[in-house]
Structure 1
Amino acid sequence: MIGAQARTLPNKLLHPLTVLRPHASFTTAAASPATKPSSILYPKINVPPSQIVASHGHYLTTDDGREIFDATGGAAVAALGHNHPAIKNAIIQQFNDVAYCYAPFFTTPAAERIAAFLTESTHGEMTKTFILSSGSEAVEAALKLARQYFVERGEPQRTRFIARKQSYHGNTLGALATGHHLTRRAVYEEILAKNVSHVSPCYPYRGKYLDESDDSYVRRLADELEAEFQAVGPGTVCAFVAETMAGATLGCVPAVPGYFPAMKAVCDRHGALLILDEVMSGMGRSGTLHAWEQEGVIPDLQTVAKGLGAGYAPIGALLIGKKVVDALTQGSGGFVHSQTYAGHPMACAVAYSVQSLIQENHLLENVRIQGDYLGRLLKERVGGHPNVGDVRGRGLFWGIEFVKDKETKTPFPAAEHIAQTVHLTGLQPEHCISLLPSSGNADGIEGDLVLVAPAYNITAAEVEVIVDRVARVIGSVFGEA
């Protein structure tokens, strides 16, 4: 049972952000006391994680011989699995053409191709693209561009942002201040910007009253957002920032119908922008290329990253709506922002290859088909377990939330590190599956879940492998249902 198992794991193995070796019997050069200590600053400094020496398809091979099914593509990144030959060819070709040039001085065919693909994929709703190297950078750029937009319009008093509790928008200081992951914010709290306030997320499992309709729940959340605008001064707000589909900090929570149109209506009423963070849920992960396509809204600014390059190169992007572009065009004529690796040709070539493969192989349809199958099987196999409170998701983006008491939805104490225990158990040789753990979803401190987010080219048979291993891991940690 979980209490006993958690107590048997050494405390050093339960650091919430650490991926560790799953079994003491495995010894490798990285762990050997005779070996020179690593120069890498690991999440847990003196505890090296498993070393991956090869990868192919859905599998990661460790230096001790385990074949681990990568059921989350890292952090919902490896959208086409590992070691794809077409992407390797694209990298080689771009390397032979142009490996690097400085975006403020030059453009490249690779950058032009992926930027055009991204704007065209929105049917012209977003008209410009700014290409960066990560999701955090894309969020930083979005915040800066939202601010510049209002300065260009003669509204310099707009300096504030409203975001959501239990959200995560990245690890740079601006992105961290916008997000609300209390554990990751804690040590930096005193140096974070104070111009961000937070409202409740759309989290029906915990936020919706038992007898409340979706419409009533949406009205209540819209009223809360309106009240926050009034509290800080409606004319001071640049934007409302939200993940279109909540990622790791809430565990793949789709918005209830009508939520985003209601939030956008509040923004429009006060002249604020809507920024949608699709770093994790976008680029096909939720079943459409852009998650907002399923929500009945069009953002003013949108961030993407993880599925854009599928892990083959560090890349993120900011997609910019027409009215924002027009304000800059009619004003200063440019965006006051640049980064050394913005528009990196190699990353752009990778992203274009990834997106071409997704389109050519009809993988968005596969995400929807296999995603429905994955969700159904997870609900059937583990949804009834007394320690599984909720199974939710969309596309190939699913979360499993664990509870101490199913009826009251009481979370486990944070000190038990349940999510990390499930993750570590999955890495054991009898299971060999990598799941993405997260905590703090219930109230910012307590609450445990794992994410399942496999590659878009997964088959039905491979979905069954995932669900079977997930069920066995849950049974091993908590006991059989």
Structure 2
Amino acid sequence: MPTDDFVASSHILHRSFTERPSKVIRGDGISLVLEDGRKVIDATCGPSVSCLGHSQPEIVEAITNHLKNDIAYVYSGSPYTNAAIEELADMLLAGKPGGLSKAIFVNSGSEATDAALKLAVQYWHEKGQPQRTHFIARKQSYHGNTIGALCVSGHESRRAFYQDFMSPNVSFVDPCYAYRMKHKGETDEEFVQRLARQFENEILRVGPDRVAGFIAEPVSGTTLGCLPAVPGYFKAIRDICDRYGVLLILDEIICGMGKTGTMHAWEQEGIRGPDIQTIGKALGGGFVPLSGVLLHQKIFHALSAGSGGLAHGHTFQAHPLACAAAISAQRIIKRDNLVERCKQMGYKLEDLLRAEIGPMPLIGDIRGRGLFWAIEFVLDKELKTPFPAQAKFCDQIVKNSLRLGLNILGNLGHTGTYQVDHVLVCPPYTVTEEELSQIISVLKVAISQASDEYLKNNAANGVNGLSNGKH
């Protein structure tokens, strides 16, 4: 496809070369305001980041006040700290949820994943087991785009260019993708037992004394579309990790910080918590780049009893201005009871999705929690036949939605064995019922347009259409 003229002349290397990006000039509540005056409802908070919408005067004021009255930058490698970074950590770890007691603040989610992996490796060195350097991750997962984070990500197309850099110290097991992976007649409990056996067998294959940690998203994000695990899965995983001393690392960069109806997504899994947890995106609400790593007290004890420090760091780690903005965002979330609101508005969003979108002919599955939902599209509802990758069906829905004034997010390339065409609907925590209805109304039109066009083109090309959900 030809390169767009604007993209060719811009000094920015845009991520897509073929389409001209629209210029956003400001935010208005949950909407983006474009240069030509159009408003676009942001129904996915970008990639699930802007959880408080795009205009929050309190956060702007907090940023301004910090710059006026405090200091913009303090190097984390120096013998100094700052009130903002200490306060944010105190807010997040009050009561030590699940035994988590310390925080590392970095910039992107990818940096948080890298820091978590390095922290796990250092932990085992401090414990006198330096041979524990192997990580087990899940297929069709995504934990970030740096080399280290890609090594534990099962996202095939994003790994493709960099296979030569991928670590041999990582192996993959199946995700908990019940919609496509459960056998006919298999119960949730039997499915969990099968995945648990596979995980335990992989630990035994590698050698229990070599496995440092297992990393997984409690609710998968863009690769499998807001996919929660079936009940009992993470309890089985936690038990196996404890049995073999494997660290459980939970990636809540996209699904955490209240989005699923509890502050931490793992709180709905009936487990004591992870050993290491990554957070991001909704942490600062998109007003600043910020992510973090939360670690269990036992990790700190091992480091303090050993080398007495963290063998990791970044120039912009624990940036005071970013932490000040996040403090303001978290205060709003707590004051306005927005985590509980996510839960309650999530029920309304689920009802709308199932009532308005569910009956449409190409809808396979609707899944999620809180205000974090996805729709998976299929050619055949009964057989769950996926679209061919070249159809780019969800991309068409994203484009149709944008033309209608709605911003949503589709899948981000080929992720693995299962072709998953989906779109995400994860609006800001502040979304109203009226806005939810508007989002679903526009999305329904966008899906209908893409479905009609796809079926019409197939008919014109002599491909059988759908009748009663079948080819």
The interval holding the TM-score normalised by the smaller chain is over 0.9
Matched, 1:395 2:370: yes
Q: How far off its partner does 1:93 sit?
A: 0.8
Matched, 1:235 2:209: yes
Residues 60-69 or 443-452, more deviating? 443-452
Unaligned runs of 5+ in 1: 1-10, 14-30
Structure 2 contact 154–415 (Cα < 8 Å) conserved? no
Structure 1 contact 199–224 (Cα < 8 Å) conserved? yes
Q: Indicate the SS of the match to 2:228.
A: coil
Residues 235-244 or 419-428, more deviating? 419-428
In 2, distance between residues paired with 1:358 and 1:214?
34
Structure 1 contact 42–48 (Cα < 8 Å) conserved? no
Q: How far off its partner does 1:421 sit?
A: 1.3
Structure 2 contact 154–416 (Cα < 8 Å) conserved? no
Q: How far off its partner does 1:66 sit?
A: 1.9
Structure 2 contact 156–414 (Cα < 8 Å) conserved? no
Structure 1 contact 414–445 (Cα < 8 Å) conserved? no
Q: Rate the CA distance shift 1:452–1:122 in 2: closer, same or farther, 3 A.
A: farther
Q: Indicate the SS of the match to 2:101.
A: strand
In 2, distance between residues paired with 1:479 and 1:309?
40
Q: How far off its partner does 1:149 sit?
A: 0.4
How well do the aligned residues superpose, as a CA RMSD in angstroms? 1.7
Matched, 1:424 2:399: yes
Structure 2 contact 133–211 (Cα < 8 Å) conserved? yes
In the alignment, what sits opposite 1:82?
54
Aligned equivalent of 1:203, options 157, 177, 183: 177
Aligned equivalent of 1:462, options 435, 442, 457: 435
Aligned equivalent of 1:435, options 404, 408, 414: 408
Q: How far off its partner does 1:194 sit?
A: 1.4
In the alignment, what sits opposite 1:37?
9
In 2, distance between residues paired with 1:200 and 1:121?
34
In 2, distance between residues paired with 1:351 and 1:202?
32
In 2, distance between residues paired with 1:89 and 1:401?
40
Q: Indicate the SS of the match to 2:194.
A: helix
Q: Rate the CA distance shift 1:452–1:60 in 2: closer, same or farther, 3 A.
A: same
| Residues 163-182 of structure 1: pairs in structure 2 closer than 5 A | 163-182=137-156
Q: How far off its partner does 1:47 sit?
A: 3.3
Structure 2 contact 155–415 (Cα < 8 Å) conserved? no
Matched, 1:449 2:453: no
Residues 413-422 or 312-321, more deviating? 413-422
Structure 2 contact 371–427 (Cα < 8 Å) conserved? yes
Give the counterpart letter for 2:218 in structure 1. Answer: T
| Residues 268-283 of structure 1: pairs in structure 2 closer than 5 A | 268-283=242-257
In 1, distance between residues paired with 2:29 and 2:43?
11
Matched, 1:247 2:221: yes
Q: Rate the CA distance shift 1:291–1:415 in 2: closer, same or farther, 3 A.
A: same
Give the counterpart letter for 2:400 in structure 1. Answer: T
In the alignment, what sits opposite 1:323?
298
Give the counterpart letter for 2:183 in structure 1. Answer: Y
Q: How far off its partner does 1:296 sit?
A: 1.5
Structure 1 contact 411–442 (Cα < 8 Å) conserved? no
Aligned pair count reads 451
Aligned equivalent of 1:63, options 24, 29, 35: 35
In the alignment, what sits opposite 2:458?
none
In the alignment, what sits opposite 1:129?
103
In 2, distance between residues paired with 1:390 and 1:197?
29
In the alignment, what sits opposite 1:142?
116
Q: Indicate the SS of the match to 2:411.
A: strand
In 1, distance between residues paired with 2:154 and 2:146?
13
Structure 1 contact 396–453 (Cα < 8 Å) conserved? yes
Q: Indicate the SS of the match to 1:53.
A: strand
In the alignment, what sits opposite 2:382?
407
Q: How far off its partner does 1:342 sit?
A: 0.5
In the alignment, what sits opposite 1:18?
none
Identity %: 45
Give the counterpart letter for 1:277 in structure 2. Answer: D
Q: How far off its partner does 1:210 sit?
A: 2.8
Q: How far off its partner does 1:268 sit?
A: 1.0
Tell me the TM-score normalized by structure 1: 0.91
In 2, distance between residues paired with 1:197 and 1:410?
28
Give the counterpart letter for 2:438 in structure 1. Answer: V
| Residues 353-372 of structure 1: pairs in structure 2 closer than 5 A | 353-372=328-347
In 2, distance between residues paired with 1:191 and 1:170?
15
Matched, 1:386 2:358: no
Give the counterpart letter for 2:375 in structure 1. Answer: I
In the alignment, what sits opposite 2:159?
185
Q: How far off its partner does 1:380 sit?
A: 0.9
In 1, distance between residues paired with 2:100 and 2:405?
42
Tell me the TM-score normalized by structure 2: 0.93
